[in-house]
Amino acid sequence: MHSKKHLRFSALRKLISDRVVKFEDARQQGKVEYSLHDCCQSAFAMMFFQDPSINAFQERLQEKQQLNNLKTLFKVATIPKSTQLRTALDDIPPTKIELLFSDFLHPVQRGKQLELFEFMDGNYLIPLDGVQYFSSNKISCDCCLTKTKNKITTYYHQVVAATIVCPGIKQVMLLAPEPIQNIDGNTKQDCEINAGKRLVKKIRATHPKLKIIIAGDGLYSKQPFIDELKQYGMSFILVAKPTDHTHLYQWFSEFHQMGETQQLEIYDHKGRRHFYEWFNDIPLNGSKDADNVNYFEYTIFKGDKVNYHNSWVTDIAISKDNIIQLVKGGRARWKIENEAFNTLKNQGYHLEHNFGHGEKYLSYNLLLFNFLAFFMHQIFELSDRIYQKCRSKFTSRKEYWNQLRCTIRILIFPSFESLLKFIIDPDSGIPP
């Protein structure tokens, strides 16, 4: 039962150490008790073992076994207190931590695991979607988004996230997100679409050679965002509802009435009828400079009842040979919501919990470490046979991580792999 060395816990954990030791420490020398390395690794360890709060994490560290496991597993020399941990993380520019996402992805590429995610003609499907991770009526900073209802102002933080997905594969590979945040001196509040534009620029800068198809909801199927995708050499499959694209849909309806659209009809083993209809080269909107796009619809019928219906635009020429795959790509946009956000919210990662806000970057940096912990777990689920065997002993993700947390409360392990092997076979003792 072997796993690729470069994708094991120790190798990926070392990537964090190698990156963090390069961070410039802006704190006043001589008054620093804890290194940035120890602060970052402690924050990552908290997210890795799915502690519900910094205080709960610190409480666990009062036990000798917990303390020693943090040192053996995460190579932490000195354990920071919660206040010092928050202060140190608050000052680290998030762009430094974001580099860890590509640090994690490179060994996945090198080990050929990323090839499993190839979607069409060597392209990788990357859905974008926004998610909220902090909200308060009292705590705020200059970067907070705001909304007021019944004279009560809510301050909140959101990001646009991006994941590499593939229909048929449960795991997702995370890319660095982009914060939706207000910038000093800018009177107009930031929004998801502008953050999305910044994100595709960041993705292309980080992965200049990757062939990419961007997926997104109807918010993104507008000319300005499509222009951004063209600028960075990215294809797209974007939801396009008729109510948002009246001019486009009028053209499609006329072609449909004239019998000029292409259609495909398939019945499945449950008796459901899958109906595909499409037309290439339709103006996206009514302006004279509008791009021509390719429009397609997909409907599932159970008898006379419509079970599902959606429509998309793409720059990929549609034919009977690829229409089914294009629909799978359009529908796979939901994987970022189901496989990523739902797991992060409801399966132990406490995405919407306020781990700490800070004055500068604390809230976003803690989110990044949470995303990185989830990313590492996804890599293990994809490639680590020991992790997979251990995980298969438990019915739920929460139960699994609760067992890991309980075990390191009472025993000290020299490595993460030895912890997993012990849980698989406790009678054999702690492996070296």
Give the per-residue pLDDT at 393: 96
Is residue 233 domain-resident? no
d(CA 12, CA 108) in angstroms, rounded, equals: 11
d(CA 357, CA 140) in angstroms, rounded, equals: 8
Give the per-residue pLDDT at 409: 86
Give the per-residue pLDDT at 3: 65
Do 53 and 180 lie in a common domain? yes
Is residue 303 domain-resident? yes
Spatial neighbors of 49 by CB under 8 A, at least 6 apart, are 401, 404, 405, 408
Do 419 and 384 lie in a common domain? yes
Do 166 and 293 lie in a common domain? no
Is residue 330 domain-resident? no
Domain count, the chain: 2
| Residue found by looking up tokens 């398939």 in the block | 266
Do 104 and 203 lie in a common domain? yes
3-state secondary structure 244-309: CCHHHHHHHHHHHHCCCCEEEEEECCCCCEEEEEEEEEEECCCCCCCCEEEEEEEEEEECCEEEEE
Is residue 154 domain-resident? yes
Averages of pLDDT over runs of 10 residues in the chain (432 residues) are: 80 97 83 88 94 79 80 90 91 97 97 95 97 92 90 94 96 98 78 97 98 98 98 98 96 97 96 98 93 98 95 98 98 90 87 87 96 97 95 93 91 94 91 74
Is residue 227 domain-resident? no
Do 176 and 50 lie in a common domain? yes
Contact yes or no for 62/406 (Cβ under 8 A): no
Do 100 and 143 lie in a common domain? yes
Do 149 and 9 lie in a common domain? yes
Of residues 203, 205, 200, 207, the one with CA closest to residue 224: 200
Do 283 and 343 lie in a common domain? no
For β-strands 262-267 and 273-283, DSSP reports them as antiparallel
Do 309 and 346 lie in a common domain? no
Last residue of a domain, one of 290, 323, 356: 323
Per-residue burial over 419-429, b if 16 or more Cβ lie within 10 Å, else e, is bbbbbeeeeee
Last residue of a domain, one of 323, 357, 377: 323
Give the per-residue pLDDT at 306: 96
Is residue 225 domain-resident? no
Give the per-residue pLDDT at 346: 85
Of residues 101, 129, 167, the one with CA closest to residue 329: 167
Give the per-residue pLDDT at 432: 72
Give the per-residue pLDDT at 1: 45
d(CA 16, CA 163) in angstroms, rounded, equals: 20
d(CA 270, CA 95) in angstroms, rounded, equals: 49
d(CA 307, CA 73) in angstroms, rounded, equals: 49
Do 18 and 115 lie in a common domain? yes
pTM of the model: 0.94
Is residue 41 domain-resident? yes
Give the per-residue pLDDT at 33: 82
Do 268 and 188 lie in a common domain? no
Is residue 365 domain-resident? yes
Q: Where in the sequence is the domain holding 404, given as residue range(s)?
A: 5-217+337-428
